[in-house]
Amino acid sequence: MKLREIPFGTTDWSTIAPTEHPGDTGVARWRTQHFGPADDRIRVRMVEYSPGYSADHWCSKGHVLLCLAGELETLLQDGRRFVLKPGMSYQVADGAEPHRSSTAVGATLFIVD
């Protein structure tokens, strides 16, 4: 990820309409902004997972993810599990380790990819 051609700016996440993305169970609500040139865009999201959310796919996209509230469990395809609580983050490269997330109690995340 290279941050380029992005002027200084602020984002009031409460003004961005969420889009809903159902999981196997529960729903993810994304507030999304894109930055940078069209051929190399950075996606920045504020994501809220409902209690009981479970992703419907294995993800191979790279992310930098910060847990702001709640608790997120991430399962790697090799069987390892990680639990994020507020103030914890993870990072993974594109194509590095397929992962799948769920939450019993709900979670709010800040994600850059």
Q: Would residue 99 count as lying in a domain?
A: yes
Q: Which secondary-structure segment (H or E) carries 52?
A: none
Q: Would residue 11 count as lying in a domain?
A: no
Q: Would residue 19 count as lying in a domain?
A: no
Q: Would residue 49 count as lying in a domain?
A: yes
Angle at 85 between CA 33 and CA 108, to 5 degrees: 30
Mean pLDDT, rounded, of the chain: 95
For residue 94, what are the domain limits?
Answer: 28-112
Q: Would residue 23 count as lying in a domain?
A: no
Alpha-carbon gap, residue 74 to 93, rounded angstroms? 15
Cα-based torsion angle of the residue sequence 35, 66, 90, 2 in order, rounded to the nearest 10 degrees: 20
CATH number at residue 90: 2.60.120.10
Q: What pLDDT digit, counting tens, does each position of 32-82 carry?
A: 999 998 888 999 999 999 999 999 999 999 999 999 999 999 999 999 999
Model-wide pTM > 0.85? yes
Q: Would residue 32 count as lying in a domain?
A: yes
Domain count, the chain: 1
The pLDDT of residue 86 is above 80: yes
